[in-house]
Every structure is written in C-alpha cells, then in structure tokens.
Amino acid sequence: MKNSGPTREEIHRDTRIAVISGVWHGRIADGLLAGATSALEDSGCQFEIFHVSSSFDLPLIAQAALEGTWDGAVVLGVIMKGESSHFERLSEVVTKGLGEVTLQTRKPIGFGVLMVNTEKEGEERAGLSDSKEDRGREAAEWTLASTALLRQLRSHSSRT
C-alpha cells in the first residue's frame, strides 16, 4: 500500500504562526481569538498571540511579524460601523494594507477581520456558542493551508 504522506501534525509541526488580534469589541474579539487558537492547537503548529490596540495598526504588526521568522499570520479584529465614514476608510486601509503585506513578504495572512454594521452581526460570525460562523477558526485554517501549499510549491521549485 502506498504511503499517504505526512500527517497534518507532521506538516504543521515546524510551522510558526503569529496571531495578531485587535482588542476592540471584546466579546467578539475574544470569540475570534478562541476559534483561531483552537484551530492552531489542533494543527500542532507553533504560535504566539500579539494584541493590537488599534485596528489601524493590524497591517503594520503583521508586516513586522512576517518580515521576521513567522511563516504566516492570522489577523483578527472587529471594525464596527458607526455614525461617520470612519468605518469605510478604516476597513479599506486595513484590507488593502494586509493585502500588500502578504504580497510583499510572500507569506500568507488569514484574514479574520470582521467588518460589521452591528454587534449582533459580529457575534454571529465570532465563533461564540450561538454563532452561525467561526471566522477566527476559518482564518487560522486558511493560514495553515496556504503555508503548507507555499512550502510545497517552493520545495518543488527548488528541485527543478
């Protein structure tokens, strides 16, 4: 019988993931972080959590981590619509900034930043006991999958 290849734990054992988490909207942010850390613990990878006080700084902290020895990042946060246009501007800056960071560093970022109109919308996506989705877990799983795929592609490229 043909070997089915390495196990999930073997694939991720040497993977280092930075978890960058905003602190605004605490209950939602905590749910996102719990989902992400649960997925990372399940994978067997190495990870560390970095708390960021401002969503505006998420791209900067992600860039600092990925320019270092981290293989990928999970970026979590909550941007909630208010009475001003600040929501649209901040959402755009964070999204564009994280996209630029992943291309500049050539390392994956699991995007777990919720941009919601209400607290209820955030709670529905935060992986809480009554949530419909777990975007924190999904962001971590995306990061792990992309990290493994990039390793495979880079390994294949170095052999040719």
Active centre residues (catalytic) = 86
- Please state, as a whole number, how many other Cβ atoms lie within 10 Å of the Cβ of residue 111: 22
Instruction: Report how far apart the first and last C-alpha atoms of the chain are (Å, whole number).
Output: 28
For 137, the token pair is 């877990």
DSSP annotation of 56: G
| Residue listed under structure tokens 């990925």 | 66
How would you classify the pairing of strands 72-80 and 46-52? unpaired
For 3, the token pair is 């070997």
